[in-house]
Structure 1
Amino acid sequence: MRRLDGCLYKLVLRTRRQRLFLRNWRKGLDLAPVTPPACRDGILAFACLRNEARRLPEFLAHYRRLGVAQFFMVDNASTDGTAALLAAQPDVALWRTSASYRRARYGMDWLAALKRRHGCGRWCLTVDADELLVYPDWETRPLPALCAWLEARSLRSFPALLLDLHGGPGAAGPEGRILDQVPWFDPGTYRAQRDPRYGNDWIQGGPRERAFFGADPWQAPALNKVPLVKWKFGQTYVSSTHHLLPRGLNQRREEAPTGVLLHTKFLPGFAERAEEETRRREHYGDCVEYRAYLARAAGPQGLWRPGSRRLAGWRQLEALGLMSRGVWI
């Protein structure tokens, strides 16, 4: 009976993957090309964004330093000059759409369509504009070295913890470097629960749960992500970049390293952004997360507490158990 149940569940997952794959293809028709992709070898980065001109210079500089060869970007009707900024970058291929972000599974369908066209057989990094990936020795061993190490061990994905950063004592103002504006984080208060459906650890906790979801912590945002994947035809993300199908891409071997996505959502001025996104109603769960932010009126500085730590580099994050080098040496 158990074997039969397992076979039926595999069939359910296969059917879901096929349905999502067809949806991705259909939603790709929403995209209008602005600047075409170049023919470049190397790692590709994919992002869907709206009104992120403030973050983009440091976002692009960070991932160029990591060794990204080309960016595939979808601009969802920005009004702050984001599209013009991206169109001027020689390593950015840009598409625009004014279609519903929510109805495109929060942009994942659009990015999946681009990966199907341009990413098959390549290492693809899928991140938001407010996420900066770091991992052990990232300053001296860029992504091509990491991907080569993973591939040599038949590993096709790389997981990372989403680490919420926020303001606090000594934080820079709006004109400062992004990571100096939100230099603090919670060193603990994280918990993981195994998800038997997809084979990954569902991680929650941190300052967002503490400040906004204390009464109902199971509603707090998920912090587990799989941002880097050797893409293959037929693969698809299920929920943001939290997990994928086939489910084997979600499973981590103990010897493999992990990373951290430094999450810079809570920059000064975040309250105005939250009000706008709540009005637009284009985010997950009828904007339940943004409505929680507004209801509790806690700004970036309000997330700080005496137990918060100031970010001091990847070695600090490794020592705290927030990332692992495995046998990556």
Structure 2
Amino acid sequence: MLKRRELTSVVDRTQNIQSDDILCFATVRNESVRLPYFLKHHRALGVSHFLIVDNASDDGTTGYLKSQNDVSLWATPKSYRASRFGMDWLTWLQMRYGRGHWCATLDADEALIIPHHDSRSLRDLTDWLDARGVRVFSALMLDLYPKTRLSEAKYTVGTPFTDALGYYDAQGYDWELQPKYRNISIRGGPRKRQFFKDAPELAPHMHKTPLIKWNWRYVYASSTHVVLPTRLNIGFDARHNLPTGVLLHAKFLDEALRQSTAEAVRKEHFTHPQDYNTYYDQILSDPVLWNDTSQPYSGWRGLEESGLLARGDWE
């Protein structure tokens, strides 16, 4: 793991981690707007400690994270894309600190929703999975968007993402078995509908396995979309009747235009960034993603009714 040499410890509170703690791993850059709610939401859900890599933020993210007592922080100025979009950095931290823990690997613009989250915690879920010898929990990444143009979706720091981004696509998702990794690939949502309708094969993957009972032999092969060994890619396989969740994806806050400009210049977010020039151009045009089929967000039960979240055998 040569990529560990790219990390510099900023503040190390890992001595506070208890043997049964649920951990969260993330790579961030300039996420001072989203991080307060990201941390608040996942603390309430049951995360005890956050292990975060800061990739050269210059917006106050570093200072904010240093002030959080349940955060251990590392920093690196190195290439996000060359580290497999941050996964090499996180893999080292997972190997070092995650063994035997349930580990959530998330982005700062994601909020994990599980079935019953208004009355049950991640601990309840992981206890149920442990009792059945299941080591994974999968979730659909669900793009949220406003009814207005993106620039008009005003967000108040620390509030739920759904306050500013209140809609999602409930239909139009394609599910496909990928034999190589034995995973279910899912594509769909407003980005496929509006930006990739002429090239659906380039639309972002929406399937993820963000929660794993970690073992040193495990590794994410493609962001959190695919895990090795392949037996871990069972979360969306209906034959197992497992519960699944949703990752509320707050990419399209009012700062989306500014961030898209920066991402287009840095070319750090896609394996073949030249294929996404048109995508960035369309984001910069400040579109309205809402249409007559858009579904208002109404909690996990609404997601279940839309077929995007499942209780499985976890009744």
TM-score scaled by length of structure 1 = 0.89
Output the amino acid matched with 1:285. Answer: T
Corresponding residue for residue 195 of structure 2:
212
Question: Which of 257, 262, 277 is the aligned partner of 1:276?
Answer: 262
Larger Cα-atom Rg? 1
Identity %: 44
Provide the rounded CA distance (Å) in 2 between the counterparts of 1:97 and 1:139: 37
* Paired residues for 1:237-316 under 5 Å: 237-252=220-235, 253-288=239-274, 291-297=277-283, 302-316=288-302
Corresponding residue for residue 84 of structure 1:
63
User: Is the CA contact 2:219–2:227 (under 8 Å) kept in the aligned structure 1?
Assistant: yes
Provide the rounded CA distance (Å) in 1 between the counterparts of 2:4 and 2:263: 23
Provide the rounded CA distance (Å) in 2 between the counterparts of 1:276 and 1:121: 38
Aligned residues between the structures: 305
Secondary structure of the structure 2 residue equivalent to 1:303:
coil
- Quick one: structure 1 residues 147 and 288, their matched pair in 2 at CA, closer, same or farther if it must change by over 3 Å? farther
- Quick one: structure 1 residues 173 and 312, their matched pair in 2 at CA, closer, same or farther if it must change by over 3 Å? same
Which string of whole-angstrom CA distances, capped at 9 and with x for unpartnered residues, describes residues 215-270 of structure 1? 01111000000000000012100000001100001013533100000000011121
Secondary structure of the structure 1 residue equivalent to 2:208:
strand
Which string of whole-angstrom CA distances, capped at 9 and with x for unpartnered residues, describes residues 110-162 of structure 1? 00000000001111000000010001101211111101100110100001000
User: Is the CA contact 2:25–2:106 (under 8 Å) kept in the aligned structure 1?
Assistant: yes
Corresponding residue for residue 177 of structure 2:
194
- Quick one: structure 1 residues 142 and 299, their matched pair in 2 at CA, closer, same or farther if it must change by over 3 Å? farther
Structure 1 position 167, deviation (Å) = 1.1
Corresponding residue for residue 54 of structure 1:
33
Provide the rounded CA distance (Å) in 2 between the counterparts of 1:57 and 1:147: 25
Output the amino acid matched with 2:3. Answer: K
Provide the rounded CA distance (Å) in 2 between the counterparts of 1:211 and 1:194: 24
User: Is the CA contact 2:9–2:75 (under 8 Å) kept in the aligned structure 1?
Assistant: yes
Provide the rounded CA distance (Å) in 2 between the counterparts of 1:296 and 1:159: 30
Output the amino acid matched with 1:239. Answer: S
Secondary structure of the structure 2 residue equivalent to 1:167:
coil
Structure 1 position 271, deviation (Å) = 1.4
Corresponding residue for residue 147 of structure 1:
126
Secondary structure of the structure 2 residue equivalent to 1:68:
coil
2:299 corresponds to 1:320: no
Provide the rounded CA distance (Å) in 1 between the counterparts of 2:287 and 2:100: 43
Which ranges in structure 1 are unaligned for 5 or more consecutive residues?
Answer: 1-24
- Quick one: structure 1 residues 192 and 298, their matched pair in 2 at CA, closer, same or farther if it must change by over 3 Å? farther
Output the amino acid matched with 1:39. Answer: N
Structure 1 position 180, deviation (Å) = 1.2
Secondary structure of the structure 1 residue equivalent to 2:137:
strand
Question: Which of 200, 208, 213 is the aligned partner of 1:225?
Answer: 208
- Quick one: structure 1 residues 291 and 38, their matched pair in 2 at CA, closer, same or farther if it must change by over 3 Å? farther
- Quick one: structure 1 residues 95 and 304, their matched pair in 2 at CA, closer, same or farther if it must change by over 3 Å? same
Corresponding residue for residue 39 of structure 1:
16
Structure 1 position 169, deviation (Å) = 5.1
Which ranges in structure 2 are unaligned for 5 or more consecutive residues?
Answer: none
Provide the rounded CA distance (Å) in 2 between the counterparts of 1:301 and 1:62: 28
Provide the rounded CA distance (Å) in 1 between the counterparts of 2:119 and 2:286: 32
TM-score scaled by length of structure 2 = 0.93
Structure 1 position 39, deviation (Å) = 2.8
Structure 1 position 286, deviation (Å) = 3.6
Secondary structure of the structure 2 residue equivalent to 1:251:
coil
Provide the rounded CA distance (Å) in 1 between the counterparts of 2:142 and 2:214: 25
Corresponding residue for residue 99 of structure 2:
120
Provide the rounded CA distance (Å) in 2 between the counterparts of 1:99 and 1:132: 26
Secondary structure of the structure 2 residue equivalent to 1:210:
helix
* Paired residues for 1:57-136 under 5 Å: 57-136=36-115
Structure 1 position 179, deviation (Å) = 1.8
User: Is the CA contact 1:226–1:243 (under 8 Å) kept in the aligned structure 2?
Assistant: yes
Which string of whole-angstrom CA distances, capped at 9 and with x for unpartnered residues, describes residues 195-222 of structure 1? 1111110000110001110101111000
User: Is the CA contact 1:51–1:82 (under 8 Å) kept in the aligned structure 2?
Assistant: yes
Structure 1 position 292, deviation (Å) = 3.1
Provide the rounded CA distance (Å) in 2 between the counterparts of 1:289 and 1:124: 32
Secondary structure of the structure 1 residue equivalent to 2:253:
coil
Output the amino acid matched with 1:287. Answer: P
User: Is the CA contact 1:166–1:301 (under 8 Å) kept in the aligned structure 2?
Assistant: no
